Structure 1
């Protein structure tokens, strides 16, 4: 069965129904989600894809919608066996994504302060 994993936790979504749920989640939270392929490399049953996503956060998701647009680059590593896609590992810039939505990274306080 095809397995889809995405940063930061790489929790596997196994099978076509799970993949459909992942796609539905992203299309609901980001209805204008656009993926542009920048570069592809094929070698020995592996496909490396460098991509750019542009999307506006207008729908529900894990966080309240912000109405903000994000522009993020990342990569996917896809494994192929017998002419079939076996799995995909997605590595995105999660920090850039969240900061473009308006979230802040707050450094921890030191013990002395």
Structure 2
């Protein structure tokens, strides 16, 4: 069965909104050998399957139990889906291995997904880690910033 770009986008919306807003990874929307190419915990090679998806989503849900994603832009064509998003949550569990700050954090990113037969086959993410580290006070803000 062939899926339209619109159908692929709808599947991605369902997967990512459910995963980030509830912490539930919908394995039925992932191909068996799906790969999340995000580098987490120093891993240099992503392992196929739902494990890498569960790891990154679980890591952020532990750090910010009230995390919420807002989709800002959606672009889709062929087997590719691109979302620009914003995540907001309260750092009560420690983000990226740091002590909990108690701060409400907001960071943005872009996710690109390759779909295959109506399932997520690959995911790449670019996240504003510098902005996140500045909010945590680990990296100083740029000169003249408040």
Fold agreement, TM-score > 0.5: yes
Is the Cα–Cα contact under 8 Å of residues 54 and 71 in structure 1 kept in the other structure?
yes
2:130, 2:139 within 8 Å by CA — same for their partners in 1?
A: no
Q: 1:28-107 maps to which residues of 2 (within 5 A)?
A: 28-60=62-94, 62-105=97-140
In terms of fraction of residues, the more strand-rich structure is 1
**What residue ranges of structure 2 are gaps of 5+ in the alignment?**
1-32, 141-146
TM normalised by structure 1 equals 0.82
Distance 1:82 1:13 in 2: 20
Change (3 A) 1:64 1:20: same
Q: What per-residue deviation string (whole Å, max 9, x for no partner) do you get for residues 28-50 of structure 1?
A: 01111111011111111000101
TM-score, length basis structure 2: 0.65
Q: What is the CA-CA distance between 1:74 and the residue it aligns to? A: 1.1
Q: Counterpart in 1 of 2:30?
A: none
What displacement does 1:7 show?
Answer: 5.9
Q: CA deviation at 1:13?
A: 4.7
Greater percentage in helix: 2
2:34 is aligned with 1:2: yes
Counterpart residue number, 1:27? 61
SS of 1:2's partner is: strand
Question: What is the aligned length?
Answer: 106
